Structure formats: C-alpha cells, structure tokens
Structure 1
Amino acid sequence: MVYDNLVPNFFGILEDEKEIISQKTNNGIGIFEFFEGKNILVTGGTGFLAKALIEKMLRTTPKINKIYILIRAKDKGAAFNRLKSEIIESKLFKCLEEMHGEYYKPFILNKLIPVVGNIYEPNLGMDIITAQQIDLIIDSAANTTFDERYDLALDANVNGPYQLMMFAKKCKNLKLLMHYSTEREGLILEKPFSMGKSIKKEKITSISPFTNFPSLHVHNEMDLVSKLKNNITNNIGLEQIMKNLGVERAKLYGWQDTYTFTKAIGEMMINSMRNEISILIIRPSIIASSYKEPFPGWMQGFRTIDPLIFFYRKGNLPCLLGDPNGLVDLVPVYMVVNATMVAMAKHGNLQNLQLNIYHVASSSINPMLKIIFGRYYPSNMKYNMEKSL
C-alpha cells in the first residue's frame, strides 16, 4: 500500500549521499555494463524487497535480458496471473509505466518470465528453464515469521538454500549467487557463519576456552524435528510443540527467535556448499518503506515500523512507549536495493569465488526510533499514565 503524505519524513537525515545507481563515471564499477544481457533467476520475487529490486533493475538497467521469477502456483496460467496482479500492475511500477507509456506492457512482459516452482523442491520444482540460461541468482525467498513452527522455518530458511545451491551447481554460466539474510542484536561482524558455530558458543569460549558446548549442525536439527514428528502420531498440539521447539533451539544456541536462528543456519548451509560458486550475502536491518525511490512512502502491506508511524500520524495511536535511549536500526527499502545492485556488480565482475558479506544498516549513526520517541512523545502522557494507575 502507499501512505503518500501520511508518513513523516523520518528518513531525510539519511539523504546525504548522492544517488548510488548513477551514470557510470570513468572510475565506476560498471553497474549498467554488468547487468546488460544477463539472465537472472529471482526467488521470492513477489515479496516486498525482491519486488523493489526488480523494479529498480528494470528502471535503471533496461538492457537486462530476462528476469525469471520463481512463483508458487498450480500451473503456468496461475503463475502468470500472480505475475500480472502482484508485480506488473503493482503501484510500485507506476514510474516504470510512465517511462515506457504505451510500450510498458510489451516491455515488461518481454523481461519478466514467471516460472512455476518451489524453493523447497529438487531443481526448485522447475521444468521450464534450464540451468545453462542463468547468469545471476537472487535469493529473496524466506519465511519471516519470528515464531514460526520450527519444521516450517527449517524447510524454508535452510532446506530452501540447500536446494538452491544444488541448482546453482548446475548453472555453468553463473557469475554470482546473492542471498538475503538478516541481522541480530548486538555487534555483528561481516563474517560468515561456519557449520558447528553458534553465538552462545563464541561468547562462552571467549571467556573460558575450555568450556564444552554442543555444536550447531544442520543435520542434527533436521533429525530432531523428524524424530519428534514421528513420535506424535495424531498431530494433536503439533503446531504449538513445533513453535516452542524453535524458540528453545534458538535460545540454546544464542539467538532470540526462530527466524534469525534458521536464517543463520541457512547461511551455514550456503557457506558449506559454495565450493566454486561466488556468493554474496546481504544482511539488511529492519527494512522500512521507501523514502525516495521510486516514490516516497511505498510499502507492501503493513510491516516493520510503518504501521506505528502511519497510525500515529492519523491520530489513532495516542502514545508509543519505549526506552528513549533505545536504538532500532531502520533502513529504507530503496537503499537496500541500491546497495544490492552495487555489491552484485562489484563481486560479479571480480569473479573471486569467495563469500562476501555486507551489512546494510544505519545503527547508531541514524538512531531512528530515538528520534521518534524524542519528538513524538505526548507531553501529558506521564500524567495520564500515573492517573490511570
């Protein structure tokens, strides 16, 4: 949905930098040249972030050859209907439509190819395209529910990357695989998660190097889920058991929730399987609505911090409680998109067969939530709270 003028300009302080995707200069990294003629496979293409990335690539690098979008659907017709309703006719693409006018639909239908498939299945469930056609893979598919059932979260965020890596090994012309991951609380280094490692293990061993701690391995977690499900014959209470299990396992290894935990395991899977594949991992912080591109205020659905801003502006949210010194890391979606394209061009051109990680965040440099609390905390709130108590 589009909030238009209802969303305050909280992201203005981020706008000091010049446009990231600009005309190539003599010392540029060749973004336009890199994407020219490329065939790209996108997973999670109907989602918030991937859709914004697709729009940006089509708007600024129109010489891309094809963008294949993996879509869960019963058949080709259903996949095309999803492509049409969720992408082509999305308000996000209105700037692209204005650019091409009457030629918009022929242009976009020539560029975007819906492919029936499923990230969890062998060969991604595809039977249309061959691996030899793919130059770049953009993996944006994920289950982002924080307290999801452990079995479902593992399937999406761990088995999905496994199947994707198996497919990538068949892509003889693959220049780069880009995978969106996530961040967690605290200081995070731009280094990969290695199989067997965990946050808690790192903390404990840094204090006492001789402390024994269970290693985190994918197959152990999969086996645990499989055995537990086999022991529950009637499925009564299975959903809650799996939700509780996900939180328990996450906290055991140092993570706060099932989502960030399984995304970290997914990174471990990719790192352990990469071999001769060039891998790029982007870890955004909380992604908020667009501040500038392609127009201010675009957001798909109600998510992250935007509902709070929206309802406060409308007068439906009288107060917002929180620590005035607390920091919540927010970044507008188009900045994540720009950083993604720059990083892809850089490492796709280098072809160094390494795993490269980037954090796209603001952290303490632009403490958004602190600004919100500092400026928009009603003056009579303390009195009203004390009176109600």
Structure 2
Amino acid sequence: METGGIAERFRDKTILITGATGFLGKLLVEKILRVQPEVRKLYLLVRAPDAIAAEERVLTEVVGKGLFDVLREQYGAGFNSFIKEKIYALPGDVMHENFGLESYEVLQLSKKVDIIVNGAATTNFMERYDVALATNAAGVMHLCQFAKQCDNLKMVLHVSTAYVAGEQAGQLLEKPFQIGRALRLDYQLDIEAELQLVDSIKSELRIKCSSDDKLEKTTMRKLGLKRTIDVIFVAYNDQTLPCFIFDGSVIFDLMMRAANVLLGGIYTKNYYEFNRDYNILMTVAKLFAPYVFFKGW
C-alpha cells in the first residue's frame, strides 16, 4: 500500500471494518492509519454489550498491541488523541441483522460509510455448525444487506481464505460464482436449507431435553463435522488406507507411514525412557479401546 496510490483513495474516507480484533484486521487498521492519516474515520465493529466495552476491546486488543508502536512513537503524547479522532468502536455482531444496531444507528452509519472491509469470521475448524453458519454465511448476508443501504458506498472488500479454492491444483483464476454452486462436482449448496436444518435440530433438542446447553453444543459440533466433512474417502495407489472410527459417523484416515514412525520411535527408545513410553502407549490404548478398528496392517 504505497502512499499516493491505494492509500490516496482512503483520504477523507469513512471505512467500516469488521473483524478488526483479528490478525489481519489489526494489520489493516494500523496500515491505514500509518500511510493515510487523513482518513476521515474508521468504524470498528466488535462484539461487545455496549459502547464502553467495545472501546475497551479496541484499546486492549487492537491499539494496545506492539504493532502500533511505530504510530505511538510518531505521535508521541498526541497518540491517544489521534486514535480517538480516527477510530470509533462500534458494539455489534455480523451474526445479527443490521449488526444488532438500533435503527437510528444504522441510518447514521449508512450515510457516512464509503468503504466496507469484512474480515469477521470464525476460523475454528471445530466450531459449532450453528455459530459457523451464523458468522461465515449469514454474517456476510447481513453485511451485504447493510451495504445496499449505504448512500456513498465505493467498495465492499470481503476477506476470505485460500480454502474457497478447495483442493484445485495449478493456476487458479478468479471467476464469478453461480449462486448455490459448490466446488465439488454434482454438489449444490443451499444456505437457507442449512440454516433451516440447524433450527430444526435445535428445536428437537429443546423439546426432548429442555435447555441442555452442553448437549446442544456437542450436537452442533458433531453436525459441523458431518456437514463440512460428510464422509472422508482416502486412497493411495488404489489402496484404501487403514482407518479407525472414532465417532461412529465421521471417518478419519490414519496414515500408515506416520503411525509406523510413531510406533517405531516408541520401541527404539532407550531403557531409561521405557516407563514413560509405556505409560504413553497405555494411554493411547485406553483412548482407542472403545472404538472399532478395521483394515489393520
């Protein structure tokens, strides 16, 4: 981001940034303030119950980091005043329509924002399915709905991951996606259907088990694995790898070479480490004893 190029486009602009407390979000906030101090305002949407808590999160989790030491040194005693002038912490969440803001707040914000950068997402691969959908799917939908209300919007930048390319090899060119199309052949993705699935399962749980939060959490995590992974079929040289079923509904592969190295390492250690290795082996055995093994060596 060279001054006079992209940075110049941020001059006198108001930018809404989601996910500012994340790794990339912090970098973006610091970079904009450093190369274009004439930016009008940065609205940072953060999860918080109120404005005071939101400001505290921004000060501790964003501005308070060592990343901002260059700016801190540059502005000296005026650093805090500069930050207060340029940054506004906005309590809200992309999981909710209009970010959970009051209607008057949405109206005011929509008249000010020139650029939207969406970096809010959960990157936890073991996340509850309902939370992952609400943040990574419905969250983007809510952001787009807000963007349509902005009078002076110049650009929406959505930050995603390399995983949107799936497991394709070679040169990957950017091309528009068709609604509902998935990376896997002969597979369609219906977000509305997925949201309805989550709601129906949670409703059934509430009817059967009243308000068992622990059971709901476990069920949603298992559903996340099932819907994300479905069934894993792994083969090398047309030979299916040895597997173990650890959940009954999800299959993970156990690579033979890695397992052989691990077991070989255990049995080749010297005598003085025998007891420790024995305990490790017994722990592993107890862990997997209840599970069904098949296609062993």
Q: After TM superposition, is the score higher than 0.5? A: yes
Partners in 2 of 1:251 and 1:43 — Cα distance? 28
User: Any gaps of 5 or more consecutive residues in structure 2?
Assistant: 233-256, 270-276, 278-297
The one-letter amino acid of 1:138's match is: V
State the percentage of identical aligned residues: 36
RMSD (CA atoms): 2.6
The answer to whether the 8 Å contact 2:24/2:119 transfers is yes
Is residue 72 of structure 1 aligned with residue 56 of structure 2?
A: no
Structure 2 match to 1:238: 216
Structure 1 match to 2:110: 131
Q: SS of 1:163's equivalent?
A: helix
The answer to whether the 8 Å contact 2:3/2:35 transfers is no
Partners in 2 of 1:74 and 1:160 — Cα distance? 18
Structure 1 residues 23 and 88: alpha-carbon distance in aligned structure 2, compared to 1, 3 A threshold: closer
Structure 1 residues 23 and 152: alpha-carbon distance in aligned structure 2, compared to 1, 3 A threshold: closer
Match of 1:247 among 225, 229, 254: 225
Structure 1 residues 382 and 223: alpha-carbon distance in aligned structure 2, compared to 1, 3 A threshold: closer
Partners in 1 of 2:191 and 2:35 — Cα distance? 39
Structure 1 match to 2:2: 22
Structure 1 residues 237 and 192: alpha-carbon distance in aligned structure 2, compared to 1, 3 A threshold: farther
Structure 1 residues 33 and 214: alpha-carbon distance in aligned structure 2, compared to 1, 3 A threshold: closer
CA deviations 1:189-242 (Å, max 9, x no partner) are 4234432222222xxxxxxxxxxx452111111111111111112146322222
The answer to whether the 8 Å contact 1:216/1:253 transfers is no
Residues matched between the structures, number: 229
Structure 1 segment 310-349 matched on structure 2, within 5 A: none
Partners in 2 of 1:244 and 1:383 — Cα distance? 33
The answer to whether the 8 Å contact 1:50/1:140 transfers is yes
Structure 1 segment 255-274 matched on structure 2, within 5 A: none
Is residue 387 of structure 1 aligned with residue 239 of structure 2?
A: no
Is residue 54 of structure 1 aligned with residue 29 of structure 2?
A: yes
Partners in 2 of 1:384 and 1:249 — Cα distance? 36
Which structure has more relative contact order (CA 8 Å, sep 6+)? It is 1
Structure 2 match to 1:35: 10
Partners in 2 of 1:148 and 1:382 — Cα distance? 31
Q: SS of 1:195's equivalent?
A: coil
Structure 1 residues 23 and 165: alpha-carbon distance in aligned structure 2, compared to 1, 3 A threshold: closer
Structure 1 residues 225 and 102: alpha-carbon distance in aligned structure 2, compared to 1, 3 A threshold: same
TM-superposed deviation, 1:71: 1.9
Match of 2:152 among 158, 167, 173: 173
The one-letter amino acid of 2:48's match is: A
Structure 2 match to 1:197: 181
The answer to whether the 8 Å contact 2:98/2:142 transfers is yes
Greater alpha carbon shift after TM alignment, 168-177 vs 43-52 = 43-52
TM-superposed deviation, 1:382: 12
TM-superposed deviation, 1:252: 4.0
Structure 2 match to 1:327: none
Structure with the higher helix share, 1 or 2 = 2
Match of 2:82 among 99, 107, 130: 107
Structure 1 residues 87 and 196: alpha-carbon distance in aligned structure 2, compared to 1, 3 A threshold: closer
Is residue 222 of structure 1 aligned with residue 185 of structure 2?
A: no
The one-letter amino acid of 1:22's match is: E
- The runs of at least 4 consecutive aligned structure 1 residues that moved more than 4 Å come to 381-386
Higher Rg of the two aligned structures: 2
User: Any gaps of 5 or more consecutive residues in structure 1?
Assistant: 1-20, 25-29, 202-212, 255-322, 324-380
CA deviations 1:291-326 (Å, max 9, x no partner) are xxxxxxxxxxxxxxxxxxxxxxxxxxxxxxxx9xxx
The one-letter amino acid of 2:40's match is: N
TM-superposed deviation, 1:22: 3.1
TM-superposed deviation, 1:118: 1.5
Q: SS of 1:199's equivalent?
A: coil
Structure 1 match to 2:281: none
CA deviations 1:146-188 (Å, max 9, x no partner) are 0211111101111111111110000010000111111234435
CA deviations 1:240-276 (Å, max 9, x no partner) are 222222222223499xxxxxxxxxxxxxxxxxxxxxx
Partners in 2 of 1:63 and 1:230 — Cα distance? 51
Structure 1 residues 148 and 384: alpha-carbon distance in aligned structure 2, compared to 1, 3 A threshold: closer
The answer to whether the 8 Å contact 2:110/2:150 transfers is yes
The one-letter amino acid of 1:387's match is: T
Partners in 2 of 1:220 and 1:80 — Cα distance? 37
Partners in 1 of 2:178 and 2:46 — Cα distance? 30
The answer to whether the 8 Å contact 1:198/1:253 transfers is no
Structure 1 residues 22 and 386: alpha-carbon distance in aligned structure 2, compared to 1, 3 A threshold: farther
Partners in 2 of 1:116 and 1:180 — Cα distance? 20
Partners in 2 of 1:102 and 1:232 — Cα distance? 56
